[in-house]
Amino acid sequence: MEFVIAAGHEETARVAGDILFAGGNAADAATAAFFASWVAEPCMASAGGGAFVHYFSAGQQEALVFDGFCQTPGRKIPASRADFFPIEVNFGDTVEPFHVGLGSTAVPGAVACVFSLHGRYGSIPITELVQPAIQLAREGVAVNRFQRYLFTLLEPILKLSERGRQIYFPRGALIGVGERLQMPGMADFLDYLSREGEDAFYRGEVARKTARDYEAGGGHLRMEDLGKYRVETRPPLAVPYGGATVLTNPAPSLGGPAIAHLLLSLPGKEDMPALFSRKYIRAWLKAQRESWRLLRRPGALQESLANKLARRLGSTTHLSIVDKAGNAVGLTASNGEGCGYFMENTDIQLNNMLGEAALLPAGFDSWEPATRLPSMMAPTLLLDQEKQLAAVLGSGGAGRIATAISQVVCLLEAYGLPVEAAVEAPRLHLGPNALNLEPGFQEAFLDEDTGVAILYWKRKSMFFGGVNAVARKGKEWMVAGDRRRDGHVLVG
């Protein structure tokens, strides 16, 4: 076995595999796969959104986080002038509101992020790595059932613009399973981007046209915002857990600190209750209650986490790759739900991160100008007792990212489950109105003293995230793609 891949779409995984077969490393594979995901998973990943990359260099034993998430614009227009309005996404057993329109768009960082990753660790020219995505965009990707489901969920957004209707409603009705989703504008732009570099996105004519549209149409985004965007690199947040070390996304991310706080709020490994029992639910409920309360005040979360670490020492789609040399990439990307605006002649829909309540718990108008948004996305690595790489994982799922990742980490480390069982295990999530339980918990949770309503889901759902993970068992790498979000795996 020379490599393992877990991704959110068959084509994304295939492109990564082709690059590794051709002699590329994990960074090359992630770069090519991320480009491909903009075509194969357009409602999950986009050049118009943001991303985090967690890279582990086996030769240098170095872990580094690339923060390519979205930035708030430099100026805030009055709310009365902003093109900003709500839509609802129906997950089946619950309905979640989001806000869209030009006033919901933050400065996208995905393009800068992939160029930064490739510039530091890539070995194959980017003009070659972009070719699979160009081919997919020109020839089209057959729509599978999960992508069709996403298009249905987001139909009100996809039909907001003329270009959105042309791509997703080619014959007047929403594109169906088996039909080919084509993005010729994306193919042309990717070719241009590979030759001209990230300036083609942030400082060229496309950027100028986008900025003009936003200024005229009620958006905050301006040309100077695009031109000033920069990727930030940071060492990961390191958290001891059981006999392992969890490396995750540090502040200003919310997701990484939330994962760390959840894990450190659970009983010790030797005291963890029986799997999926009433005591197991109660332990997670207690941990989530404390963590979610602190999330409303990120400074308080950081202080509490520091205290827990001091005592112990004394996120959306996700891609996980490990190459034959042991280099690893965890890449988590999101476009939110998309704002409805497509950049001219590119088929790129921009994000709606300023309309994500999970990112702005103090209110939609609470953001400060020119500030990196505090994402819940958190590509995460697990090191064993010898500090060797043991797992790479991450998830989509907005406000459920931290609970999804922390539960899988707990099942891997505290309970010793194989990675596929850990990913497929039932999950729980404490939302604002109820404790959400997937099917599979062993006992009814009927205690009245918890003070929380219980929502029993009829089936597993993408609401609970989509953890794509690879984990080592002995000398072999095992892999799991989360079927909640149509995860795909490839082993070579």
Mean pLDDT for each consecutive 10-residue tract of the chain (492 residues)?
A: 92 97 97 98 95 94 95 96 90 75 98 98 98 98 94 93 97 96 97 96 95 97 98 95 93 88 88 90 90 68 58 64 96 95 96 89 91 92 93 89 95 96 96 89 63 87 93 92 92 84
Catalytic (active site) residue 210: no
Cβ atoms of 484 and 461 within 8 Å: the answer is: yes
Catalytic residue among 12, 316, 346, 380: 316
| pLDDT at position 396 | 85
Cβ atoms of 209 and 95 within 8 Å: the answer is: no
Q: How many CA atoms lie within 13 A of 69 on its CB side?
A: 31
Cβ-based neighbour number of residue 417 at 10 Å = 18
Report the distance separating Cα 3 and Cα 33, nearest Å. Answer: 15
The first and second tokens of residue 158, run together, are 């996809």
Q: How many CA atoms lie within 13 A of 426 on its CB side?
A: 19
Q: What is the pTM of this model?
A: 0.93
Q: Which are the contacts of 17, defined by CB distance < 8 A and separation ≥ 6?
A: 3, 5, 29, 490, 492
The amino acid present at 113, given as its one-letter code, is: C
Go through the domains of the chain in sequence order and give each one's CATH number: 14-42+70-229+335-355 (no CATH), 234-318+376-491 (3.60.20)
Q: Token pair 């009100």 is at which residue? A: 156
| pLDDT at position 301 | 61
Report phi then psi at 242, rounded to 5.
60, -130
Strand partners, 99: 86
Q: Token pair 């193919």 is at which residue? A: 187
| pLDDT at position 481 | 95
